[in-house]
């Protein structure tokens, strides 16, 4: 948003899509406003603007982090707003918190076991009455979260070389839009569920489009990456051997065509290899080999990315210890799936768009192992069996380096 656009927005005053607030707003107040906009048609909260439109500016340090923390755990289902700051006249800065119309209505503010539902009515956010709440439930469209909009993520934020390469070399389209035909590319991505048109007239990326193809997914969709660390012993330690966060787009292109456009999985595996490999003698030569089957580590990471619950704003965690490797994926198992059913071969994809795209790119077809094959592969490799530990908010996969 430009300074001119900000000043025009403020000049028009508060309305059903705009709310002014000082930046000393309480967390529960911010959560209320965000829920009200999501249950209506979306909107913007301007922090650092008085009720009468005077700009007081933002003074709270690390305001973006505070905003995200204020709504995390308070808003259900999870909402990730778009945040930006714009300098106004006199150098005072205003923070804009953008909220799209929610696809998983109704949204609520959680306070312990209590849920409060709000709706935007004119320039006010009001608690929803019984009839309004009933309409919100009836209006729920049961759209998968991966198909919901990510505010602010527009065509120019996509890795356009990666997108063109995907449709040209993976999907084999021969009638792609010209490089400068923005509308043509937006239509193509909307039809493939990587973008979506909002009621405000914007065309933005979906969650799936963001994590698969954006240049910097974390800029618009926090917690879209992988936190990886290697430790000397068998417990987490601040003095780690190595630690890094990865946030590259997930979709990679054929190496023969685009050797430099690696995906998130390739980036993580490059970090992992030195810490899960050792040397052995092969004749007179020393040869480095993986201490765990590479294809099983890759499959475990792939499953964590494809099947994770994207409504939970937490990165995937990969931890390498002296005796084991662990991958933690956010979210409970979908529907009625259990660990026992997974081992029996039941697979219910939570994110069908992401699953389909990764299959197009050769990840799923090349591996296609599933939990059963992971178990079989580890038993054949070192007579250990992977552990799958499912809780209400995560799935932990544990691979053992050797039999105890």
Q: Which two tokens stand for residue 201?
A: 């007239």
- Specify the DSSP class assigned to residue 100: P
Give the pLDDT score at 157. 97
What is the rounded distance in angstroms from the CA atom of residue 34 to the CA atom of residue 107? 9
What is the predicted pLDDT for the residue at 143? 53
- Taking Cα atoms as reference points, which of 46, 60, 58 lies closest to residue 10? 46
Please give the span between the terminal C-alpha atoms of the chain, in angstroms, as a whole number: 59
Q: How long, in residues, is the chain?
A: 404
Q: Give CA–CA dist 30/347, Å, rounded.
A: 39
What's the angle, vertex CA 273, arms to CA 402 and CA 158, rounded to 5? 135
Beta strand pairing call for 93-99 and 118-121:
unpaired
**CA-based radius of gyration for the chain:** 23
pLDDT for position 366: 43
Whose structure tokens read 């178990």?
Answer: 375
CB atoms near residue 376 (< 10 Å): 14
Q: Cα(266)–Cα(301) distance, rounded to whole angstroms? A: 10
Contact between residue 153 and residue 205 where contact means Cβ atoms under 8 Å apart: yes
Query: Dmax of the chain from CA atoms?
Result: 81
Q: Judge whether 8 and 34 are in contact, CB under 8 Å.
A: no
Tell me the whole-structure pTM to 2 decimals: 0.69
pLDDT in tens, the chain (404 residues): 889 999 999 999 999 999 999 989 999 999 999 999 998 889 999 999 999 999 999 999 999 999 999 898 899 988 889 999 999 888 899 999 999 887 777 899 988 878 899 999 888 998 888 767 766 665 554 557 888 899 899 999 999 999 999 999 999 999 999 999 999 999 999 999 999 998 778 999 999 999 999 999 999 888 889 999 999 999 998 888 999 999 999 998 877 666 667 899 999 999 999 998 876 666 667 667 888 999 999 999 999 999 898 877 889 999 999 999 999 999 888 766 788 888 887 777 788 999 999 999 988 754 445 788 889 999 999 999 999 999 878 999 999 999 87
Choose among 14, 16, 18: nearest CA to 1: 18
The secondary structure element, H or E, covering residue 125 is strand 124-127
| In contact, 206 and 223? CB cutoff 8 Å | no
Domains and their CATH numbers in the chain: 3-142 (3.30.950.30), 155-220 (no CATH), 226-400 (3.30.565.60)
Candidates 82, 50, 51, 88; CA nearest to 67 is 82
Tell me the two tokens of residue 121. 């009515």
Q: What angle do CA 211, 137, 310 make, to 5 degrees?
A: 15
Cis peptide before 77 (omega within 30 of 0): yes
Beta bridge partners, 49, equal 55
Name the packing angle between helices 264-272 and 294-307 (round to 10°): 140
pLDDT computed for residue 134 by the predictor: 63
């Amino acid at each position: 948003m430009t300074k001119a656009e900000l000043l025009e927005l403020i000049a028009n005053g508060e309305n059903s899509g705009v709310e002014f607030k000082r930046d000393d707003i309480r967390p529960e107040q911010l959560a209320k406003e965000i829920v009200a906009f999501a249950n209506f048609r979306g909107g913007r909260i301007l922090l650092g603007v008085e009720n009468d439109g005077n700009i007081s500016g933002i003074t709270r340090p690390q305001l973006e982090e505070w905003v995200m923390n204020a709504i995390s755990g308070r808003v259900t289902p999870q909402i990730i707003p778009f945040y930006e700051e714009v300098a106004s006249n006199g150098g005072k800065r205003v923070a804009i918190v953008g909220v799209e119309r929610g696809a998983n209505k109704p949204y609520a503010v959680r306070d312990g076991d209590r849920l409060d539902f709000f709706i935007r009515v004119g320039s006010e956010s009001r608690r929803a009455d019984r009839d309004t709440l009933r309409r919100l439930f009836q209006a729920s469209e049961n759209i998968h979260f991966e198909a919901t909009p990510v505010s602010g993520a527009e065509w120019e934020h996509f890795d356009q070389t990666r997108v063109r390469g995907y449709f040209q070399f993976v999907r084999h389209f021969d009638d792609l839009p010209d490089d400068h035909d923005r509308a043509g590319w937006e239509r193509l991505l909307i039809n493939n569920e990587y973008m979506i048109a909002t009621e405000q007239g914007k065309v933005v990326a979906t969650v799936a489009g963001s994590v698969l193809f954006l240049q910097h997914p974390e800029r618009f969709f926090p917690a879209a990456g992988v936190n990886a660390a290697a430790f000397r012993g068998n417990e987490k330690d601040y003095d780690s051997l190595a630690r890094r966060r990865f946030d590259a787009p997930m979709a990679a292109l054929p190496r023969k065509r685009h050797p430099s456009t690696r995906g998130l999985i390739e980036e993580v595996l490059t970090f992992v290899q030195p810490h899960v490999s050792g040397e052995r003698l092969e004749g007179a030569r020393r040869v480095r080999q993986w201490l765990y089957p590479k294809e099983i580590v890759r499959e475990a990471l792939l499953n964590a990315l494809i099947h994770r619950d994207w409504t939970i704003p937490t990165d995937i965690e990969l931890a390498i210890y002296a005796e084991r490797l662990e991958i933690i994926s956010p979210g409970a198992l979908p529907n009625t799936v259990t660990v026992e059913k997974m081992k029996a071969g039941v697979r219910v994809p939570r994110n069908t768009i992401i699953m389909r795209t990764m299959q197009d790119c050769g990840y799923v077809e090349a591996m296609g192992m599933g939990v059963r094959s992971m178990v079989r592969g580890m038993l054949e490799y070192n007579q250990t069996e992977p552990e799958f530990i499912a809780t209400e908010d995560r799935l932990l996969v544990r691979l053992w380096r050797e039999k105890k």
